[in-house]
């Protein structure tokens, strides 16, 4: 069951990485001049949801259950904010905002990839630390809570609002209301987050089909 937390985070990272690549290399055509917009928006929406959910669920767990948790949580939220700033710049460039229009796309994507990799690496290390320091049931519950939080998290980057504590919860609630209004106004499609999967229930044939073996050591 520990594996449920790590597996769900890695699966989410894989999906986000793929959506980032699709957004970066999608090009408008004469027949579909705005084709780049939904590809980039899909990445921004799903990444924004995950960042908010991670700060809502994982940060308190890090603070309470890991040695030096306060400093680790602060580093985690700082990495979240850095990534959100790069995401906000991407959105500004995409929609032609004055402060970003003169930055070349190559610089935008390079900065976004760099901060994306830093955050994802840190989140995976924090998940491993939680696995090493807490119980199976606690980690499985964290995975389910991150998923539930993603379903009710802001769909746009908000790097300058509080990320932790009571102020962070209030800020996310306000941002979600504002984001829902604009998503409905713009007819924006928001993708479903990756649902946690308890791999301990997979049979051998399922593992074979998924090319994802994880048999207990005594059976391997």
Q: Give the pLDDT score at 121.
A: 97
> Could you tell me which residues come within 8 angstroms of residue 153 by beta carbon, excluding any fewer than 6 positions away?
48, 49, 50, 52, 53, 56, 172, 176
Q: Is residue 91 part of a domain?
A: yes
Q: Is residue 8 part of a domain?
A: yes
pLDDT band, residue 172 (cuts 50/70/90): very high
Our count of domains for the chain comes to 1
CA distance 116 to 134: 27
Q: Is residue 219 part of a domain?
A: no
| Structural domain span for residue 129 | 2-23+31-210
Q: Which of 18-22, 24-28, 91-95 is most confident?
A: 18-22
Query: Would you tell me how many other CB atoms lie within 10 Å of the CB of residue 36?
Result: 18
Q: Is residue 155 part of a domain?
A: yes
Cα–Cα separations (whole angstroms), residue 83 to 37, 51, 87, 101, 151: 19, 9, 6, 19, 20
> Could you tell me which residues come within 8 angstroms of residue 51 by beta carbon, excluding any fewer than 6 positions away?
80, 83, 84, 119, 157
pLDDT band, residue 200 (cuts 50/70/90): low
pTM: 0.86
Cα–Cα separations (whole angstroms), residue 139 to 12, 15, 68, 130, 142: 16, 21, 19, 7, 5
Q: Are 163 and 78 in contact (CB under 8 A)?
A: no
Q: Is residue 215 part of a domain?
A: no
């Amino acid at each position: 069951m520990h594996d449920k937390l790590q597996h769900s985070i890695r699966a989410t990272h894989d999906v986000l990485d793929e959506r980032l690549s699709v957004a970066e290399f999608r090009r408008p055509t004469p027949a579909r001049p705005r084709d780049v917009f939904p590809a980039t928006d899909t990445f921004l929406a799903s990444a924004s949801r995950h960042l908010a959910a991670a700060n809502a669920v994982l940060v308190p767990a890090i603070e309470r259950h890991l040695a030096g948790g306060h400093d680790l949580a602060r580093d985690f939220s700082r990495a979240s904010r850095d990534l959100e700033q790069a995401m906000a710049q991407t959105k500004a460039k995409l929609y032609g905002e004055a402060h970003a229009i003169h930055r070349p796309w190559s610089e935008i994507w390079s900065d976004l990839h760099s901060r994306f990799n830093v955050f994802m690496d840190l989140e995976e290390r924090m998940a491993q630390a939680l696995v090493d320091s807490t119980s199976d049931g606690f980690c499985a519950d964290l995975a389910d809570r991150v998923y539930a939080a993603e379903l009710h998290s802001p769909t746009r980057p908000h790097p300058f609002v509080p990320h932790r504590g009571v102020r962070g919860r209030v800020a996310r609630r306000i941002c979600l209301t504002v984001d829902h209004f604009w998503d409905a106004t713009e007819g924006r499609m928001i993708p479903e987050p990756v649902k946690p999967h308890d791999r301990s229930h997979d049979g051998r044939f399922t593992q074979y089909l998924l090319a994802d073996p994880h048999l207990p050591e005594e059976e391997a």
